[in-house]
Structure 1
Amino acid sequence: MTDSVDFRCIVAPKGAGEVRIPGLVTLVDERMVLFFDERPAPASGTGSDFNGLTMASDLPNPNRILWMVREGAGQWSEPHPLPAGGPPVSSDACVGVDGDGLLHLAFASTDGRVGYMDSRADGERLRAWWAWGSGPEDLAYADVTDELYELTGADALFATSGGTVSVDGAVALPYVVRVGDATHVRVVYARAGRLVGAADPLVGDGGALLDETTLGVWDGRLVANCRIQGFEGRGSGARYLAWGDGHSWEGGCLWELDDPGCNARMVGDLFVHPGRRDARAGGEILRVSAPWEGPVVSQAVASFGDGVFGYSDFMSAGDEAVVVFERDRGLWEAAMRR
């Protein structure tokens, strides 16, 4: 797939904080935009330790989403905040473009008192927000918490971060939904800032609790590639794949592979993720066989060494494939020339 790979840090943290959670999207004007979290230093830990616990820098810390544009010669602009009008605290952007060319972001927010594990359907809730517009400089906002919690019956929910796809002109937003102690995935659809539909709930086979999910359109199907909740033996070493017409799920299977349990990105039959079971490291791109045709097999088409490789996203840009991933409390780019 590649002749060469260039690595570089494209945004570093301020002081002891972190920058995390990349989300890439290409707008109709062909600009590639990166959204990410700026996260202040947590009270303890680094916020990215592989310890099986809630990340120390997750909400309700006072995070905010920033954005950058990839300009000529592969250079990135300076980071910019989201336009005024949204919540002061924001995190984990899921990004896509609808059939009208409108950029959509789905993200989590909090009033500072409640996070994902504390959220309750009949109490304080982790907030769900959408933003949409012609580009990152021009966004309208809506708090869609009540609408989504009523639709899903959730105690807590959040949109999986990173780039996503459109189906029939609507942006497909994969939400992790917790009801009590069980989790599943619900794909909802947004167009022009409005909720226009939802797929059936996606529940893992054999009691697997599904977590962050990357969506792809592949061979006319919507494919969900799901992290399994947990660490160190529960959640590592496997992912769950499901496929359907965008409204119902026709099939699903467990896919055993070296994976630590981490957010990742699938684009068609290409899958970008950390390729180790015991750590978020060893990033690679795999070409995956269609799961509806038989047991899943994969072949590595690019690798990024043995170093740290956390949450990641992937997009093509002309004759380059661009991967942005977490390393050393910052975000790094691997640009591959084809």
Structure 2
Amino acid sequence: MSRLLPYARDGRLRAVLAVLATVTALLGATFLGGRAFASTEPALTTPTATLDAALRCPSAFTHPNHEPVLLVHGFASSYEDSWAWGMAPALRGAGFDVCGIDLPEHALGDIQLSTEYVVHAIDAIHAATGRSVGVVAHSEGNLEAHWALKWWPHLQSEVADVVDLAAPEHGIVGGNLVCVLPCTPAAAQFSGGSHFLAALNSGDETPGPVAYTSVYSLTDPAIVPATTAITNGATNIAIQDVCPGRVVTHLGFLYDSVVYQLVLDALSHSGPANPSRLPFGACLGLYAPGVTAAEAAYAEGVRAPADAATALVDGDYTVDGEPALMPYARS
């Protein structure tokens, strides 16, 4: 033992201990479902098989020149209803590999649980491609995307862009009106003044080196007030500032040509979308590539009422109050 004392005195032991401390910190990550999470991040409670089944990706990623894209649908919807007929094929035609997810319970349930599907999807796409992911979300889906990046900070190095379309980021009055009566968990959470939104927007609203773009419309009847979509730290773009007088409804974000061009611009360049890069005459188009007038009319005349009916009749998920915050989100 006496021969070790000089070794300790000359500082080499301290160096060894420092190395061991670094290794211990690295080993402090917990490996869950094929993903390494920092020990301070929440564990996913949804079975990996369930998360895998909800993810829709191509059989192979064949467009290495672009970031892969994850599309996240909104309240009372699904991947098929929101994306499969418009934005997804348009982005594929522009040379992107496109994935989507089906959030559980048509995104009517607790947003905190639905977020686990987004966390898993980003990790899976990043692992499959080795590239950063572009996340495009509509309506409530923006809340899942932001909740994921806030509470699973390792994702901030796996995501290049978040493009919010019609985001209820700071609460909408529609939620407050509906939740006078028992309402779905998600509706209670995106109501103005909810504990969920207070936790989501506490501190940095746009964490990490991610490029955040929030696109909103002054003629969106669901996102009221329209300023709720304005996110601190993001590039916030009102459609009417790009194209004065243009009418874009809530579902219009899924097929409008200017919305599509802003999404494409964000995904195709470093940093957020920049309206000044849109081509001359961008405001003259009506629909995203491949979308027909009949499909747009169907979205407004059939899908919108169907989504509302889904939210009303799916009584299995009605609650008399907002779901409690998860332990990790409590201050």
TM-score, normalised with respect to structure 1: 0.29
Higher strand proportion (structure 1 or 2): 1
TM-score, normalised with respect to structure 2: 0.29
Greater Rg by CA: 2
Higher helix proportion (structure 1 or 2): 2
